[in-house]
């Protein structure tokens, strides 16, 4: 009995080993690609914790073996002397209103596009679809002139207004598609119960659309937080209002080979979006899948 | 402190004011007879959005077109002069050539890698981890990526030790390899070094979209093909790739638009030096270094013209989608 039982077990582990071997190229490829994609970020992260004399003489990978010499000095320095602390606050002040405002304005418009009949609806919505890919370079000069006339250049309201405008096409597009897919019966039931359009919108449509609104909010937050061009053009590089993207891009020129400081600054600017992204990845993916027409 | 207050007021106040506008508008509509209130209602809800679209996208586009026919200070009409100047300007022609390289290399690399990775990770158990790590750069700004990749490409003249990852790895792996100043040497090929950084950022996007579409292929299709004795390669060719084609088309257009608009990564990594100029960076320089609104506008119009075909394609695709809805 014992010997007959061992035979299938033996072929079983053989088959297992063969299967493993057959999957080896696949696993090597996947693990290899994943490492390749992670190494650039890891290198920067490790370098940001290394003392300057080591960063300038040895590669970041040497930090992975003893003696382990790490320091927080680089972060302290960029936060205090390279304006990164102020820029962090600026980035937050700039991004939060520029995320909230366009979403609500877009939701009103999307509600009209999805559930109301009016002449020109198709043409107007096709215009929105067209605007999804318009390069914002085309708008820079007239908007800059407008802001200059209003005395808004170099101020946060300029950025809030501009990002609201630029974020609307995608927001309207996504929300209109989402609102449009809500069951008709639900909205009709609300109307039969005597709910006005305002009540239906705030009590029925918005609460059921929270996942879509969340995807959109992450999208817009990342887009505004990571933006360089809009901030560069309308804020004009004044350090008191510069967000982290602008400050880091200036440091690239002024710090040159001081990699320990540059990497610390870059990592500070990446921390918030990375945390947000990792914790809310599901919403982000959903947003991408719904809006992959956007350029 | 004052600015914090300002930000809070805006983040809460403007949405509240907009909501107030809608509520108040609805009150007014309620006073009107049913027919006219129904006719006016959509416009009430659309007004804030349309006002922003008009002010920040539609009107500026038209104005830029007008400015492109005027002089540097927008005081005089100059006809096609700006276009004549930019199309004979060596820096702009370099930018055009480089954007052509971007438009071919960037979408090809991101989409092919996206398809390959999506298919590969679909077959391993740690799929979600691998995908998350490849997708993570999407959260990083181009500025951040610019620093990351400048560090990857860092070069020190030998015999100094190479501390840039790429040069260190290649000198270690290939005996006798001479370290390269990747961003400076061999134009126009150094453009590929910039494109690689952008590919690193955006492959995750392509992979995620294509992977979702891959998972949407009905299992019966695979089973039917295997029952018919199709090999893995045949399944890939005749089942998987055809089912992905419409998704790939969407992703490809997104990547092409991106390649045409490429700005931040070039601005941060080389600022267009060493023959790596692109259209968007050229426009920025005309606007802020040269301060020539006419030429900057003309460049913006060239950029828009390159994107218009894609825009029309999107509109057509959208209409088809709506018809089959």
- Cα nearest neighbour of B52 on chain A: A165
Q: Between chain A and chain B, how many beta carbons pairs sit less than 8 Å apart?
A: 329
Percent of chain A with pLDDT over 70: 94
Q: Do B64 and A138 touch (CB under 8 A)?
A: yes
Q: Give the up-direction half-sphere exposure of residue B86: CA atoms within 13 A in the CB hemisphere.
A: 27
Q: Which residue of A has its CA nearest to B47?
A: A109
Residues B163 and B280 in one domain: yes
Q: Which residues contact B202 (CB under 8 A, 6 or more apart)?
A: B106, B110, B138, B255, B258
Distance from CA of B152 to the nearest CA of A (A): 7
Distance from CA of B85 to the nearest CA of A (A): 19
The ipTM assigned to this model is 0.90
> Is B296 part of a structural domain of the chain?
yes
- pLDDT of A278 > 60? The answer is yes
Which of B247, B246, B245, B221 has its CA nearest to residue B234? B221
Q: Identify whether residues B147 and B107 lie together within a single domain.
A: yes
Q: Are residues B154 and B9 in the same domain?
A: no
Query: Distance (Å, rounded) from C-alpha B244 to C-alpha B233?
Result: 15
Examine the domain organization and report whether B25 and B149 are in the same domain.
no
pLDDT exceeds 70 at position A11: no
Closest residue by Cα to residue B287 from B90, B74, B87: B74
Kindly state whether residue B77 falls inside one of the protein's structural domains.
Answer: no
Whether B45 sits inside 8 A of A225 (CB atoms) is no
Do A37 and B133 lie within an 8 Å CB cutoff?
yes
Asked, for residue B220, whether it belongs to a domain, the answer is yes
CB distance B300–A141 less than 8 Å?
yes
Considering the domain architecture, whether residues B87 and B63 belong to the same structural domain is answered as no
Q: What residues does each domain of chain A span?
A: 2-73, 82-290
Portion 124-183 of B in contact with A at CB < 8 A: 124, 126, 129-130, 132-144, 146-152, 154, 161-165, 168
Residue B75 resides in a domain: no
Name the residue of chain A whose CA is nearest to B279's CA. A137
Question: Taking the model in full, what pTM does it have?
Answer: 0.90
Same domain, B20 and B163: no
Give the per-residue pLDDT at B325.
61
Nearest to A283 by CA among B208, B70, B23, B116: B208
| Least confident stretch, A101-110, B158-167, B303-312 | B158-167
pLDDT tens string B57-91: 999 999 999 999 999 988 999 999 999 999 999 99
In a domain, B193, yes or no: yes
Mean pLDDT for chain B overall: 91
Question: Rg (Cα) of chain A, in Å, rounded?
Answer: 26
Residue A2 confidence class, pLDDT cut points 50, 70, 90: very low
Q: What is the pLDDT of residues A115-149, one digit of tens each?
A: 999 999 999 999 999 999 999 999 999 999 999 99
**B214 and A CB contact within 8 Å:** no
Question: With contacts defined as CB-CB under 8 Å, which chain A residues touch B303?
Answer: 135, 137-138
DSSP string, chain A: -HHHHHHHHHHHHHHHHHHHHHHHHHHHHHHHHHHHHHHHHHHHHHHTTS-HHHHTTS-GGGGGSSS----SHHHHHHHHHSSHHHHHHHHHHHHHHHHHHHHHHHHHHHHHHHH---TTHHHHHHHHHHHTT--THHHHHHHHHHHHHHT-TTSHHHHHHHHHHHHHHHHHHHHHHHHHTS-HHHHHHHHHTT--HHHIIIIIIHHHTHHHHHHHHHHHHHHHHH--HHHHHHHTT-TTT--HHHHHHHHHHHHTT-HHHHHHHHHHHHHHHHHHHHHTHHHHHHHHHH-TT--
Split at pLDDT 50, 70, 90, the class of B210 is very high
Comparing CB atoms, the residue among A30, A57, A165 nearest residue B52 is A165
d(CA A18, CA B157): 48
Q: How far apart are CA B126 and CA B42, in angstroms?
A: 49
- B160 and B213 inside one domain: yes
Of A37, A164, A293, the CB nearest to B314: A293
| Residues of chain A found within 8 Å of residue B135, distances taken between Cβ atoms | 281
pLDDT tens column, A36-71: 999 999 999 999 999 988 888 888 998 888 888 899
Residues 147-186 of chain A whose Cβ lies under 8 A from any Cβ of chain B = 156-157, 160-162, 164-166, 168-169, 172
Examine the domain organization and report whether B143 and B33 are in the same domain.
no
Q: What is the dihedral of CA A146, A152, A155, A160, to 10 degrees?
A: -60
The total number of structural domains in chain B stands at: 2
Strand partners, B77: B70
| Three-state DSSP state, B324 | helix
Indicate the residue among B17, B37, B67 that finishes a domain.
B67
CA distances (Å), A149 to each of A65, A142, B297, in order? 59, 11, 19
* B8/B123 same-domain check: no
Q: Find the angle CA(B82)-CA(B87)-CA(B91) to the nearest 5 degrees.
A: 105
Per-residue pLDDT of A177-204, as tens digits, reads 999 888 888 888 888 888 888 999 999 9
Which chain B residue shows the shortest CA-CA distance from A282? Answer: B132
- B107 is a domain residue: yes
Q: What are the φ and ψ backbone dihedral angles of B70, each rounded to 5 degrees?
A: -115, 170
Question: Taking a contact as any Cβ pair under 8 Å apart, which residues of chain A between 41 and 80 contact chain B?
Answer: 41, 43-44, 47, 55-61
User: E strand or H helix at B108, and its extent?
Assistant: helix B90-121
Spell out which residues of chain B touch residue A289, defining contact as CB-CB under 8 Å.
Answer: 208-209, 212
Same domain, B100 and B242: yes
Identify the CATH number of the domain in which residue B315 sits. Answer: 1.10.3720.10
What are the tokens at A193? 């119960």
Tell me B75's DSSP state.
-
Nearest CA in chain B to A258: B151
Cβ(A226)–Cβ(A271) below 8 Å: no
Per-residue pLDDT, averaged over B210-234, amounts to 87
A47 in Cβ contact with B151 (< 8 Å)? yes
Say if the Cβ atoms of A134 and B133 lie within 8 Å. no
- From A117, which residue of chain B is nearest by alpha-carbon distance? B42
Is residue B88 located within the same domain as residue B42? no
Q: What homologous superfamily does CATH list for A82-290?
A: MetI-like (1.10.3720.10)
Last residue of a domain, one of B19, B42, B67: B67
Q: Does residue B226 lie within any of the structural domains? A: yes
How many angstroms separate the CA of residue A5 from the nearest CA in chain B? Answer: 30
Q: What's the whole-number average pLDDT of chain A?
A: 88
Check whether residue B117 and residue B259 sit in a common domain. Answer: yes
Q: From CA B285, how far away is CA B287, in angstroms rounded?
A: 5
Whether B78 maps to a domain, the answer reads no
* Domain housing B206: 83-324
Which 3 state secondary structure label does DSSP give B155? coil
Q: Which of B16, B34, B67 is the last residue of a domain?
A: B67
A282 touches chain B (CB under 8 A): no
CB contact under 8 A, B117 and A141: no
Contact B14 A101 (CB under 8 A): yes
Identify all chain B residues contacting A52, using CB atoms and an 8 Å cutoff.
none
């Amino acid at each position: 009995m014992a010997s007959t039982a061992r035979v299938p077990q033996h072929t079983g582990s053989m088959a297992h080993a063969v299967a493993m071997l057959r999957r080896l190229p696949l696993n090597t490829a996947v693990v290899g690609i994943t490492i390749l994609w992670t190494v650039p970020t890891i290198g920067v992260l490790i370098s940001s914790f290394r003392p300057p004399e080591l960063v300038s003489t040895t590669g970041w990978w040497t930090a992975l073996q003893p003696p382990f010499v790490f320091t927080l000095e680089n972060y302290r320095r960029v936060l205090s002397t390279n304006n990164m602390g102020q820029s962090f606050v600026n980035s937050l002040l700039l991004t939060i209103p520029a995320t909230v405002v366009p979403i609500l304005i877009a939701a009103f418009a999307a509600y009209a596009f999805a559930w109301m009949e009016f002449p020109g609806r198709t043409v107007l919505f096709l215009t929105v679809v067209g605007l999804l890919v318009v390069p914002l370079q085309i708008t820079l000069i007239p908007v800059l002139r407008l802001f200059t006339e209003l005395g808004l250049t170099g101020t946060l309201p300029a950025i809030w207004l501009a990002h609201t405008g630029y974020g609307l096409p995608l927001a309207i597009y996504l929300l209109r598609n989402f609102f449009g897919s809500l069951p008709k019966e639900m909205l009709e039931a609300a109307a039969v119960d005597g709910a006005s359009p305002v009540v239906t919108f705030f009590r029925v449509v918005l609460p059921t659309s929270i996942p879509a609104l969340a995807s959109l909010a992450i999208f817009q937050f990342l887009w505004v937080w990571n933006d360089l061009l809009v901030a560069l053009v309308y804020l004009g590089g004044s350090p008191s209002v510069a967000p982290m993207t602008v400050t880091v891009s200036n440091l690239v020129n002024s710090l040159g080979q001081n990699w320990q400081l540059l990497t610390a600054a870059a990592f500070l600017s990446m921390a918030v979006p990375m945390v947000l992204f990792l914790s809310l990845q599901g919403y982000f993916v959903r947003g991408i899948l719904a809006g992959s027409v956007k350029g | 402190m004052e600015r914090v207050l300002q930000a809070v007021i805006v983040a809460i106040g403007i949405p509240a004011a907009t909501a107030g506008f809608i509520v108040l508008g609805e009150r007014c509509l309620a006073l009107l007879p049913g027919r006219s209130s129904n006719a006016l209602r959509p416009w009430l809800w659309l007004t804030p959005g349309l006002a922003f679209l008009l002010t920040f996208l539609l009107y500026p586009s038209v104005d830029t077109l007008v400015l492109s026919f005027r002089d540097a200070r927008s005081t005089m009409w100059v006809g096609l002069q700006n276009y004549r100047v930019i199309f004979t300007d060596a820096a702009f022609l370099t930018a055009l050539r480089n954007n052509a390289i971007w438009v071919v290399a960037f979408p090809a690399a991101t989409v092919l890698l996206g398809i390959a990775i999506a298919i590969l990770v679909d077959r391993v158990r740690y799929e979600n981890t691998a995908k998350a790590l490849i997708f993570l750069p999407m959260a990083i700004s181009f500025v951040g990526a610019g620093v990351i990749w400048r560090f990857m490409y860092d070069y020190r003249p030998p015999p100094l030790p190479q501390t840039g990852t790429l040069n260190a790895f290649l000198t270690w792996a290939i005996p006798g390899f001479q370290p390269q100043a990747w961003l400076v040497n061999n134009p126009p090929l150094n453009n590929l070094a910039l494109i690689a950084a952008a590919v690193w950022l955006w492959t995750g996007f392509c992979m995620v979209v294509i992977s979702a579409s891959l998972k949407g292929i009905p299992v019966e299709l695979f089973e039917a093909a295997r029952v018919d004795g199709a090999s893995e390669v045949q399944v890939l060719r005749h089942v998987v790739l055809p089912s992905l084609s419409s998704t790939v088309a969407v992703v490809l257009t997104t990547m092409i638009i991106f390649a045409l608009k490429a700005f931040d990564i070039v601005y941060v990594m080389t600022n267009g030096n060493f023959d790596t100029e692109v259209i968007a960076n050229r426009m920025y320089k005309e606007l802020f270094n040269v301060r020539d609104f006419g030429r900057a506008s003309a460049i913006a119009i060239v950029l828009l013209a390159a994107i218009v075909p894609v825009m029309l394609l999107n509109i057509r695709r959208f209409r088809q989608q709506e018809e089959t809805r």
